[in-house]
Amino acid sequence: MISRRLLRIKVIQTYYSHLLVNDKYDVTAATKELNRHIFHFHHLYLFLLDLLPEIKKYAEKKYEIEVNKFIQNKGSETPYLKLIKNKVINKFIQSRAFVTYKKNYGFSWIEHQDLVKDITNTFINSDIFNKYLVEENNFENDKKLIYSFFNEFLKEQYPDIYPEMEEISIYWADVTDYALANCAKTISQIQEKTQGEDIKIFPMYKQNEDRVFATHLLQYTITNQTQLFEHIKPFISQWEFERLFKLDMIILQLATTEFLEFPGIPILATVDEYVEISKEYCTDKSWAFINGVLDRISHHLCEKGMIKKLKDGCEKIQQSKPESGNK
């Protein structure tokens, strides 16, 4: 399930790369590229979830070696055995939805077994797992461990996951955090009474409205960039256009499209989203520039009666004076 923020980021990246390689604006080609970005994000989410059965298989092999070497202490559970018995992993591997997705996507960790090995061994030596080892054996602790595996261990304690995913696919370069968050959400909705086959796997889009949002945002911006620039131009006239950061301009265009074309999205929500995105992808000063310029554009479009919002529209932003937009 791809969030609206990530959809915006993928539209920005698609539009940016499209402008770099196309003399003419090919809406069809750009839309196909956007769809590829979104497909590959969903692929990554499923690929990371597939670590659970892979980790269990590796743990089973290690435990068998322990037993054969008489390492196991009678009456005690080794880390590998406790991982094998984890109730959430064992529920998850019964998910019919996941099995179907895996078959349709055709992904596998078979070429990345060294990575599975390293992830598993690092995990069972982590503070998270050591704490789990001494906790009571119950479903909630099993669930907490697997939730922490995605939301804490891989995100914060196993930095190699990021370059490893990028090496597997260029489409995964900057979306691993978002995919791990989705994995954690998938685990959070599993309850003790949940049957394994009923475990829900997030679809590519939460709802069709999100697909329409991303497609229209990209297509309208490409086909109407001249008109959009005319809306923006009066508020950046004090700067040389050629010297403005290209991503800043793309963000201004996309945000202006949202003002004009998406009545269900409040003006301030659009501004906040693109300001936050600019903090991650643009220059250090971009967010203040974008915030100021969008504030002035929204006031101007409201005065001209061009913005029609279902809620939190022009009445709300007209209560404040537009910012200067200094960069």
Question: Do 178 and 288 fall within a single domain?
Answer: no
Q: What is the DSSP letter of 111?
A: G
Rounded CA separation 209/204 (Å): 12
208 within a domain of the structure (yes/no): no
Question: Do 11 and 109 fall within a single domain?
Answer: yes
- What CATH number is given to the structural domain containing 244? 1.10.940.10
**Angle between helices 161-168 and 176-188 in degrees, nearest 10:** 110
**CA-based nearest residue to 176, from 195, 196, 150:** 150
The H or E element containing residue 208 is helix 208-223
Question: Do 116 and 251 fall within a single domain?
Answer: no
**CA-based nearest residue to 252, from 157, 77, 230, 33:** 230
Rounded average pLDDT over 226-231:
92
192 within a domain of the structure (yes/no): yes
| More confident: 243 or 192 | 192
Last residue in a domain, options 198, 232, 259? 198
Last residue in a domain, options 146, 181, 198? 198
pTM: 0.88
Interior CA angle at 164 toward 159 and 165, to 5°?
105
218 within a domain of the structure (yes/no): no
Question: Do 179 and 236 fall within a single domain?
Answer: no
156 within a domain of the structure (yes/no): yes
257 within a domain of the structure (yes/no): yes
**CA-based nearest residue to 44, from 207, 195, 154:** 154
What's the pLDDT tens digit per position in 145-177? 999 999 999 999 999 999 999 999 999 988 999
Which structure tokens are listed for 221? 């911006």
Lowest mean pLDDT among 17-26, 215-224, 274-283: 17-26
Cβ-based burial of 146 (10 A; exposed 0-12, middle 13-18, buried ≥19):
buried
Question: Do 146 and 273 fall within a single domain?
Answer: no
Residue 133: half-sphere exposure toward Cβ, Cα within 13 Å: 14
Q: At residue 301, what is the residue type?
A: L
The reported pLDDT for the residue numbered 67 is 79
Question: Are the C-beta atoms of residues 210 and 7 closer than 8 Å to each other?
Answer: yes
The reported pLDDT for the residue numbered 73 is 54
219 within a domain of the structure (yes/no): no
Question: Do 312 and 231 fall within a single domain?
Answer: yes
Question: Do 161 and 242 fall within a single domain?
Answer: no
Lowest mean pLDDT among 73-87, 145-159, 177-191, 274-288: 73-87
Question: Do 174 and 247 fall within a single domain?
Answer: no
Last residue in a domain, options 181, 198, 215? 198
Rounded average pLDDT over 57-86:
81
CA-to-CA separations, 227 to 84, 127, 204, 222, 232, in angstroms, rounded? 60, 56, 32, 10, 9
Question: Do 185 and 120 fall within a single domain?
Answer: yes
pLDDT > 70: what percent of the chain? 91
Total structural domains within the chain = 2
pLDDT at residue 75 is higher than 50: no
Question: Do 193 and 159 fall within a single domain?
Answer: yes
Binning pLDDT at 50, 70 and 90, where does residue 242 land? low
pLDDT at residue 74 is higher than 60: no
In three-state secondary structure terms, 167 is helix
Rounded average pLDDT over 245-254:
91
Question: Are the C-beta atoms of residues 51 and 89 closer than 8 Å to each other?
Answer: no
Question: Are the C-beta atoms of residues 112 and 105 closer than 8 Å to each other?
Answer: no
The reported pLDDT for the residue numbered 23 is 57
Question: Do 301 and 155 fall within a single domain?
Answer: no
pLDDT at residue 1 is higher than 70: yes
What's the pLDDT tens digit per position in 94-121? 999 999 999 999 999 999 999 999 999 9
Q: Which domain holds residue 53?
A: 4-198
The reported pLDDT for the residue numbered 285 is 85
Question: Do 238 and 92 fall within a single domain?
Answer: no
The reported pLDDT for the residue numbered 153 is 98
Binning pLDDT at 50, 70 and 90, where does residue 237 land? confident
What's the pLDDT tens digit per position in 266-281? 999 999 999 999 999 9
Lowest mean pLDDT among 26-40, 66-80, 125-139, 232-246: 66-80
325 within a domain of the structure (yes/no): no
What contacts 14, CB < 8 A, 6 or more positions away? 30, 33, 34, 37, 218
pLDDT at residue 9 is higher than 90: yes
69 within a domain of the structure (yes/no): yes
What average pLDDT does the structure give for the chain? 89
The helices-and-strands tally (H runs, E runs) of the chain is: 17, 0
What contacts 137, CB < 8 A, 6 or more positions away? 82, 85
Rounded average pLDDT over 205-225:
93
